[in-house]
Amino acid sequence: MVLPSLPEPLLLAGAFVGMGLLGFGAVWTDRRHHWPRIAGWMLFGLYWPFKAQHYFAIDDPFNAVLALAAPLLTGYIAYHEYLSWKWGERPVALTWLAGATFVAASTYFLLFEITAIQEEIIYWTGKETAWLTDTVFGTNSMAYQSPTVDPQDGYRPTHICLAEGYQSSVTSQFCGAEGAASSWSGAASQGFPYYAVTIVFACTALQSIMIFVGAIAFTKADTVRKLKAYALTVPTIYALNLFRNAGIIYGYRVKQWSMFGIDSFTFMHSYVAKLGAILALVGIALAVFRLLPELHENILDVLSLHEREQAKPPSPRSGTPTET
């Protein structure tokens, strides 16, 4: 499925307006607070299908399908916001979801758009991934920031290069400031085995971290328990992501193998690592639920929206909305 191309600034403007409306609607106490949230969900959802082609291009079918389905999911939430206005209700779970999405998405998008911060996060993730890969798998690797901007993503990625069987000085010679393409082509011409993996913003785990940060931020719970939840989630997700990156690099080293017709990097990155990340996030969520049962209740309430009484008569909107 190929959608018409729209200018990236226009897509981002729509997404940021949508996120702003979600945040405003989450804190606005007026009974009309559902309407900015309805508009926010629709605008935010319309951003994602235009990213599906990018995910397909990088062999990431999981995120591509999610991107295509985003308008259906956000439209479903917007519909329940409308029902809440119609019935004079104020479901706590819908307020939580709008606020959590605002915090998570707006922070991630802002960091993504501030190039200097983004590149530093990528670089340090790359350095720590290279160190962990060497420590766990006994490789000889080096991380360096590309001197050129990626024309598609608009920032300088960090490359992790491995020269098997050679010292760091040799690795540096082939993984230097002129860029991976020329450096590694020179190494290949001399018969040296080499591997190179590029760390991009999606490899930093910031998406997963911000999902938990947003979800915890708008959960109605005392500050101490929320701080404990942050301490549990943020460093754990970051550390597990480094192991994920190292595992992908290690699997990619064996360039001769393939499975089901899929090359080693794609299989490790888009299938094995994706499944492992989902299982890890589920495990972390279960641990967080013990600290914040209110968060668990919010998620269950969102998943149970389909059980709302569709034929419920409207309540008078002149009174105070009821919280559910």
Q: Residues with Cβ < 8 Å from 133, sequence gap 6 or more?
A: 139, 141, 160, 162, 245, 246, 249, 250
Q: Please state, as a whole number, how many other Cβ atoms lie within 10 Å of the Cβ of residue 170.
A: 14
What is the per-residue pLDDT across 269-285, written as a single tens digit (0 to 9) for each?
A: 778 888 888 999 999 99
With bands split at pLDDT 50, 70 and 90, how would you rate the model's confidence at 267? confident
CB 174 within 8 A of CB 194: yes
Question: Is residue 161 scored above 80 in pLDDT?
Answer: no
pLDDT score of 174: 42
Mind listing the pLDDT tens digit for each residue in 52-67? 988 888 778 888 999 9
Q: Quote the pLDDT of residue 177.
A: 38
Contacts of 61 (CB under 8 A, 6+ apart): 55, 270
Mean pLDDT within 83-89: 92
By the 10 Å C-beta count (0-12 exposed, 13-18 middle, 19+ buried), 95 is classed as: buried
- pLDDT tens digits for 189-232? 444 445 567 888 888 999 999 999 999 999 999 999 999 999 99
Domain ranges across the chain: 115-292
Q: Average pLDDT of the chain?
A: 82
Per residue in 19-38, pLDDT tens? 999 999 999 989 899 999 99
Q: Please check the confidence at residue 185 and state whether its pLDDT lies above 50.
A: no
Secondary structure element (H or E) that encloses residue 120, with its range: helix 115-137
SS3 of residue 177 by DSSP = coil
Q: Note the pLDDT of residue 159.
A: 72
Q: Is the pLDDT of residue 85 over 60?
A: yes
Tell me how far CA of residue 3 lies from CA of 45, 50, 62, 67, in angstroms. 14, 6, 18, 12
CB within 8 A of 9, min separation 6: which ones?
A: none
How many angstroms separate the CA atoms of 82 and 212, rounded? 27
Greater confidence (41 vs 311) lies with 41
Any bridge partners for residue 163, and if so which?
194
> Measured over all CA atoms, what is the biggest interatomic distance in the chain, rounded to whole angstroms?
80
Q: Are 270 and 252 in contact (CB under 8 A)?
A: no
Neighbours of 266 (CB within 10 A): 15
CB 284 within 8 A of CB 212: yes
